Amino acid sequence: MNRFVAAGLLAAALAGPASGQQRADDFPKPVQPEWEKRPTAMDISAVYPQRAANQEKSGQAIIKCLVIDDGLLGTCEVVSEQPAGYGFGTAALRLKSRFKIKSHTPDGAAVAGAFVNIPIIFKNY
């Protein structure tokens, strides 16, 4: 049986509030989010792509998600995945419900409507 452990979640960058047609790329100054909840190594193992597991491949993905009012993640998209074609981006999207951000930054700014970029590393040991 293969064991899969996430090497870790890298720091995620939170962009300022969104409005109208703005995209995360429009925000020049990312702010570090404060996490209330993040996926565990077991959560990441549970979504590990089967093709990658069969070929003993490790990988990584970055997802960009909209933060909604309660600090949960709304709409998400895959920004990148490496190596391509193994399903690491799709696996990262499946983790979206395992994240929760504190509703306000330390200086009191609301995070709802902001975008967060979340890098996730998948390690095959």
Full pLDDT tens readout for the chain, 125 residues = 344 444 444 434 444 444 344 444 544 234 567 899 999 999 999 999 999 999 999 999 999 999 988 899 999 999 999 999 999 999 999 999 999 999 888 888 888 888 899 999 999 87
Domains of the chain with CATH codes: 4-18+29-124 (3.30.2420.10)
Is 27 within 8 Å of 16 (Cβ atoms)?
yes
Can the peptide bond before residue 83 be classed as cis, meaning omega within 30 degrees of 0?
yes
- Check residue 80 and give its pLDDT: 98
Block residue for tokens 């390690």: 123
Q: What's the whole-model pTM score?
A: 0.77
